[in-house]
Chain A
């Protein structure tokens, strides 16, 4: 099965797009790099070059040297931007305080997000990072790339920016770190016109959606995470680029309850793939696990001797619902009692697989602590099936939800906080869904129910005179 893009995709060939020649790209030797000193004294940064983990300082120094050796006019912002960034980092270590100014409203015409303004508060000392704006570039779903694409992006960014980036930012975008205001529009233009590539979200709008690796290389994914992520990102471009929400809003797509993109902790709307039929069992492979021919958990515990695999101890007795057991040498699962936690499947991937009748669960409202404390997403839609272009999802869930939040949400109030403030009952009303016990860990332990007049026989209208006919004052 191949997926078709919404618009024809321009083929990007680095040889046609490139800015720098091979000679320019290979303009220094390891020997020069070893002897290279940046213009500032940075003893604390230098300490971060030792040790086995990749050193970002060592990496930054190569970019600094590379820029030193490029010819004049081959970079549109200051040559010494990387050196000044390291210099300011050193001063920040000394002072124990950041030296980036608060805020700065910059952007590209027509968009309210995608660019984060940043200015140094030590501009005299570090003029090359006087402006150090960030741009968010919307990554392709699940972050597969070709070298043609990445090399072209690198040339564009080195030519018009610092050459420093994040692969990737927390939300999922490719981050360009540090350029001057003048170059923001040119970069946006080149991205769009040459690379057919857009910016991601920032500010009070739909943030760049992200997804797990899904069916591309995982046997557990119950949904086409990339296809959902791509379609909804494209369909909601207006919401992504033009802030009209009370605060940020995140979609994240996990293919199964293992939650590799942490949707349940990070997304206002968390999609988690699941199934409603039975776990598929290959009894022969199961015997191979029991017999020790196949290592449990795909070999994840190989580094230590945990003893012989014991299916009772490691699977059956760890099952949170105790819905499985061995009968006549066969594993039996009472699937209607299973909560699909994935443990047995994770431990014996060659013997057990998720069911075939798949869909996704939707949970709402996760966020980090700012402001009223961290929240995880709340289980709301137990199971839903949707096919591209996902009209039932858009029309019945996403849009009524946004309408409510845009109408009722206070400035900087995340969806999860609105749900808490107005109650799950309100959410049910908005989505037109009935309550289910699965929405709560347990029923309320206080009887402070907000009864409505229509819930109570006779309503709330009563006469005190009538009351007094039965009760003297």
Chain B
């Protein structure tokens, strides 16, 4: 049966439940595995990264599969997907795979086919010059940045996602195509605290953040929102009921209690937070999800706010690069950014990364005590001397 070209296709709006198919679930994975994958399922013996972006997996049967990994924009058009299909048809018998981090993987079963595939991929560029299929994203480098929707589709963002990822990856491109770092660096981006991308355990996380309390649309609030739900949505109890001068039911906000999470706006469209001057980019660092050597860790806030300088965010790009360069120069082999920061001490991290330590970086939300340092073990840095000077302890 072909795809229909009728305006409403097979759907009959007069009888919407007729012949309805539901709960089919996803299609089965096995049919999408190329023969070399089907034949060697569960029999893989080892793998090797031949060069950045190119892997070979060797099976106990002696079979090999060569994988060429390319960066992809998570946002792509059908035209781009069709080009991916052309490449898959030309080199890979029509098979292709995507990774969790939005990379595209083309697989072939011989070295010769891999070389031809690689050459083809490298030659493809957009008319304005950028690569369509940059090869890389393996080993001790920076792989693709996972991200959220931003201004392309979301109603709550504090910044845009696709543009920031493009700008940062242009800056980090050599790290994507190289394997020169002490370990892998996972950069992730979320355009608000909802973190659709769950960036909270990344080596470097870029997070859009609002900094102004909601403005209240008293005209409609009572009509479009459930006031008790709006009040209950606030984790700091900053929202309370009120009446406007003309007697309309609404809410008021205790501004000093607001930490700008935006949960009230998720529940109620009449309390928007977004603001050109207020919205900013927060940088977090030192998280990871792997259990390798040390336990998974949350990322920590290391830069409280950088400006949303559209469309290329130079301050964000420079800060990310600065952190990665300091890490590359100082960390031991196999050490992730978080492991490195813990070994040298966070005071040394700020010094080496040349990042100012501001009061915003000291936790004052719940469980803040868990982050206080309750020992006399510390290192002397300029930030420490400033404290000593401030109390007249040294000159």
Contact = CB atoms under 8 A, between A and B. Distances in A.
A102 B151 contact: no
B99 A53 contact: no
The 5 closest A-B pairs by CB, nearest first: A96-B276, A300-B139, A51-B170, A5-B28, A102-B269
Interface in B165-182: 166-167, 169-170, 173, 176, 178-181
A257 B290 CA distance: 6
Interface in A91-145: 92-93, 95-103, 109-111, 118, 132, 134, 138-145
A189 B11 contact: yes
A177 B127 contact: no
A384 to B, nearest CB: 17
B78 A63 contact: yes
Given A19-B3, A52-B170, A156-B3, A185 B151 contact: no
A265 B265 CA distance: 25
For chain B, give the interface size range: 35 or more
B98 A167 contact: yes
* Chain A interface residue bracket vs B: 35 or more
Contact of B200 (A95, A216, A258, A368): A368
Main secondary structure of the interface of B (DSSP, over half): loop
Interface in B213-249: 233, 235
Interface string A213-241: 10111110000101000100110011011
A427 B293 CA distance: 29
A163 to B, nearest CB: 4
B275 interface: yes
B7 A95 contact: no
12 contacts: A54-B73, A98-B150, A101-B155, A146-B32, A157-B78, A186-B11, A190-B10, A193-B21, A198-B25, A302-B49, A303-B140, A342-B292
Given A165-B78, A194-B3, A371-B261, A302 B51 contact: yes
Contacts of B71: 53-54
Nearest to B78: A154
B229 to A, nearest CB: 8
B28 A9 contact: yes
B82 A109 contact: no
Contacts of A341: 291-293
A332 to B, nearest CB: 20
Contacts of A349: 46-47
Nearest to A137: B26
Contact of B49 (A47, A300, A368): A300
Contacts of B292: 257-258, 341-343, 346
Given A52-B173, A144-B33, A109 B16 contact: yes
Contacts of A197: 24, 26-27
A19 B5 contact: yes
Contacts of B293: 318, 320, 341, 343
Nearest to A148: B94
Nearest to B77: A63
Nearest to A349: B46
Contact of A110 (B2, B22, B34): B22
A79 interface: no
A152 B44 CA distance: 32
B366 A59 contact: no
A156 B5 CA distance: 9
